[in-house]
Amino acid sequence: MQIEQAPTVKPYEKPEGERRGLVLVNTGDGKGKSTAAFGLALRAHGRGKSVKIFQFMKVPTARFGEHRMFEQLGMPIEGLGDGFSWKSQDHERSAQIAREGWERARTAILSGDHFLVVLDEITYPLIYGWLPLEPVLQALADRPRHVHVMLTGRRCPEEIIAVADTVTRMELVKHAFQAGIPAQRGIED
pLDDT tens digits, 119-159: 999 999 999 999 999 999 999 999 999 999 999 999 999 99
Q: How large is the average pLDDT for residues 87-106?
A: 89
Percent of the chain with pLDDT over 70: 97
**What's the CATH fold of domain 23-173?**
Rossmann fold (3.40.50)
pLDDT value of position 84:
65
Q: Could you give the CA distance from residue 177 to residue 186 in angstroms, rounded to a whole number? A: 15
Would you say the C-alpha torsion 49, 163, 95, 182 has a positive or negative sign? Answer: negative
Q: What percent of the chain has pLDDT over 90?
A: 68
The whole-angstrom separation of Cα 99 and Cα 91 is: 12
Question: Rounded mean pLDDT of the chain?
Answer: 92
Range scoring the smallest mean pLDDT among 70-79, 89-98, 124-133, 163-172: 89-98
Write down the H helix ranges in 47-179.
65-73, 91-111, 123-127, 133-142, 158-163
pLDDT at 134: 98
- State the amino acid at position 128 in one-letter form: Y
Which of 61, 75, 74, 37 is closest to 153 using CA atoms? 37
CA distance linking residue 110 with residue 142, whole number of Å:
7
| pTM listed for this prediction | 0.90
Strand partners, 116: 51, 148
b/e 61-75 (16+ beta carbons within 10 angstroms → b): ebebebbeebeeeeb
- Amino acid making up residue 59: V
CA dihedral over 92, 150, 22, 172, signed as positive or negative: negative
CA atoms within 13 A on the CB side of 68: 6
Are 40 and 66 within 8 A, CB to CB? Answer: no
Q: Is the pLDDT of residue 183 over 90?
A: no
Per-residue pLDDT reduced to its tens digit, 26-64: 999 999 999 999 999 999 999 999 999 999 998 888 888
